[in-house]
Amino acid sequence: MSADIQAKDRLIVALDLESADKARAMVEELEGVVEFFKIGLTLQLAPGVEALISDLIKVKKKRVFLDYKYYDIAATLRKAVARAADLGVYFLTVHGTSECIRGAVEGRGNRDLKILIVTVLTSHDQADIAELGYTNNTVEQLVLHRAKKAIDAGCDGVIASGQEAKSIKELSGKIGKSLWVVTPGIRPDGYPEDDQKRRTTPRDAVMAGADYLVLGRPITEPGTFGYSNSRDAAKAILAEMQQAFDERV
């Protein structure tokens, strides 16, 4: 049993909404239910997003996952990551070469920012990675290659589908270094596929070894999940997650 893991600490709601004001309203609706929020590219240039991030961290005492997928030379990443760390961001995504990733880790310094590597987007399948030039790798092989690179560079975790979570945990166990698996592309049973080609349910992802789950539309658009409001949708997800965490060996 995974002792003392609380689903409430492991659910991240993606605020992929039209404006910072709508994101604030969603945070208010989920007050007392959700404590961790993702700010991604949808809001990156939205008016008021910097104030939103600051208020979430400093006023509302929430954890923030800044999912901007930083990708640049090491010197630039070092500076960008340092700024995110100064803001008090908890999770941050980067990708690139090993040198670039090490630059990101250096930029974090000794602050409590967790650096996550993007492996393969959950909206990509074998055909997609072949189009990107990875014709000699399966999706899982590419994911594991990038997970090992994350470990070698001193990162804290990876963004990966629940379909590869077990293999990533086995890899990190063999190497002897822990690695968080943060899993997007989560879709409850009966939920439309949307654009997620390598989706998993909350239960399946947790049982496979995922440490954190990222959900957007099933919670922020609750009608598609059969609920009248986002609070009830989030509670249903949390209940499924908690049962899986309690059962996980």
> Which residues are known to be catalytic?
69
- Which of 131, 204, 143, 203 is closest to 172 using CA atoms? 143
| SS percent in the chain: helix, strand, coil, step 5 | 45, 15, 35
From CA 61, how far away is CA 222, in angstroms rounded?
25
Element counts in the chain: helices (H) and strands (E): 11, 8
Q: Confirm if 208 and 165 have CB atoms less than 8 A apart.
A: yes
- Six-digit token pair at 112? 């409590």
From CA 160, how far away is CA 184, in angstroms rounded?
7
| C-alpha pair distances (Å), 157 with each of 35, 67, 128, 182, 239 | 20, 13, 23, 7, 24
Instruction: Identify the DSSP state of 55.
Output: I
Strand locations in 59-164, DSSP E? Answer: 63-70, 91-94, 114-118, 157-159
Instruction: Name residues whose C-beta falls within 8 Å of residue 71's C-beta, 6 or more positions apart in sequence.
Output: 94, 95, 96, 100
